[in-house]
Amino acid sequence: MIEWDPCIPRKIIGFPFFEAQAKWIAQLLSGKRRLPPRDEMMRSVEELYRSRDAASIPKHYTHDIADFEYCDRYGDHIGFPHLEEWRKQLCLSALVNADANLEAYRDSWDDHELLQQALKSPHFTQLGPGDFTI
């Protein structure tokens, strides 16, 4: 069995989160949004560290953001929609399958219904519903 390379991040909800970050940065740079006051941002950081300490989460997991609630809260701050439930379930399914069999998890189709929902999402493809058959 292939071992996971610890240099490759896998505990992140990639592109939807990157898109939300890019939108927020674009809003800041265009002047449509402003950063909170420095004191408020520092309090927020301190609260985050306190809550993670209380939950016994090691500091080296600070950037482990494979947490749908975190992504949804981030989206709330910038007016970005929450991740769809099918997307969350598909992510979890991929992680579980990768943990079970990293070498061949992409060949597993036990999440077929979730994939069908993904195909219908306007965020997944630029094709319309009539452009493909299921």
Given pLDDT bands bounded at 50, 70 and 90, which one contains residue 129?
low
Where exactly are the structural domains of the chain?
84-134
> Per-residue pLDDT tens for 63-111?
776 678 877 888 887 788 888 888 888 778 777 777 777 777 767 666 7
What pTM did the predictor assign?
A: 0.55
Dihedral angle over CA of 41, 44, 50, 54, nearest 10: -160
Contacts of 13 (CB under 8 A, 6+ apart): 65, 66, 68, 71, 83, 91
Block residue for tokens 């740079």: 29
Answer positive or negative: Cα dihedral of 50, 55, 58, 60: negative
